[in-house]
Amino acid sequence: MWKAPDWFVKRLHDIDPALDVFFNTNRQRWIIIRNAAGTQTHVKTLEGKDGGYQPPCEVALNWLKQADMWTHAKTREQLARDLDYEEYRQKEQIARSIKGDFHDAAMDDKLQIKRAVGNASVFPSTKQPSDPAEADASGGNE
């Protein structure tokens, strides 16, 4: 059976005593979980940037520290404000994305209409005669 290094387990418990780590033999990866209130929650699967194997290391501990919102917030009120702000930020990002999608779709529609109608509407400043006889009389140029 695989056992995480003692130094890693100690540092993990320094971050949060409810955290634990084990090696999943099926996935061939180290898994960090949190055991609290009788519930086991998956926290992180240790993988390298390329998706390959990553041993228990400082990189994983640093990720946990950065992801720990409670440590950053210090109070329940600040944590609630941070979570509200994060939700607001995500909604704004989605709204911007949707607005951009609609803008892109509208621009694409305009382009398709211009192509369907012909180049006459692409260059509105170009005056085109409505009567072919006018074109012959003016020599086709104005």
Kindly give the interhelix angle for 6-15 and 58-67, rounded to the nearest 10 degrees.
10
pTM over 0.95: no
pLDDT score recorded for residue 15: 84
β partners of residue 19: 34
Q: What are phi and psi of 2, to 5 degrees?
A: -80, 140
42 vs 12, 14, 31, CA distance in Å? Answer: 14, 18, 8
Find the mean pLDDT for residues 55-63. 88
Using one digit for the tens of pLDDT, what is the confidence trace for 25-35?
998 999 999 88
Please tell me the predicted confidence (pLDDT) of residue 51.
Answer: 85
Q: What is the pLDDT of residue 87?
A: 76
Name the average pLDDT for the chain: 78
Tokens of 6: 């003692």
Q: What's the confidence (pLDDT) of residue 7?
A: 94
Predicted confidence band of residue 40 (pLDDT cuts 50, 70, 90): confident
